Structure 1
Amino acid sequence: MPQPSRTVFRAAWPIINEQHTPAELIAEATELLPDLAAESGAVLCGPAEFDTTQTAAEAAIPGLEHFDGYVLVATAPATAAAAPPVRAPKRPAPDRLRADAVEAGLRGDDVVLSDAERRAAATIALQDGMTIERAAQRLHVDVDDLVQLLANAPELVA
């Protein structure tokens, strides 16, 4: 029986709350990584390495090209899962970040975003000079709700 070929699984989170140490961010990301890999059809087969020294642009993270800040990047050896699970579309968990959804939100597409994704998209929009009112309009939310969401940032956006 042939051995599955090994590849690399990579995940990234924008660091929007710099009050937490890299160790705290890595600890939280370590817990999330196996589920993220599984959702992507990968099985981790070794420990992850983490890097917090690159900006989103330096790390070339698809979907975070407009984020002007540091990112936590996890890279781990992985294999392809036997068959990706078939799941009905659902609202993402609040602690997961889908870069493609964030980009779609920034474009103003009608996409279901978790609070973490909405917060990341709003942060990027504001860093790019967009007003809070325009960001709220683009993300299809009320301005007051967006202000409250940004004020209640969790420890790690994933």
Structure 2
Amino acid sequence: DKEKDLATLKSFIDEWKNYGRVPFNKKNINVKYNTILDAILKKLGVSKQESELMKYGDKLKKLANADNDRALLNERTFIRRKIDESLSEIRQLENNLLFFSNTSGDNPLVKDVVKNIDRHKETLVTWKAKLKNLNILQHNLNKEEIQTEEETDSSEDD
């Protein structure tokens, strides 16, 4: 059952995250972990984007629990920069493709550029989804903060 397997995998991921950060001199452990995790997710039929968003959800949980507005702001800036880089790369590749307007579609160079454009578009969709998830998290945190302030104000009025 795919759902059951994903739930088990998520609990394993949570357990891995609870161990804390992997030291820099042992970063190959993290690389192996992510490679194995990607292979398992692929075997379960989870797309690369879904896999990325699942991993990103864990990062968002950490950011939410850290109660650090600066970290959220840094994350937003990082994602926006990645979106801008992806858009710029797509524009550049599409512009390069115009130079090949007279060549056939089965030209290896043209195929490579088209494949590259598609890959960057997929990446762009993932970054936009991450930004959307971050926006939702920030909205919920702001909402909780307002509710807490209102509850505090109403209890002081009593």
TM tier, smaller: under 0.3
- With structure 2 as the length reference, what TM-score do the two structures score? 0.26
- With structure 1 as the length reference, what TM-score do the two structures score? 0.26
Give the helix-richer structure, 1 or 2. 2
Give the strand-richer structure, 1 or 2. 1
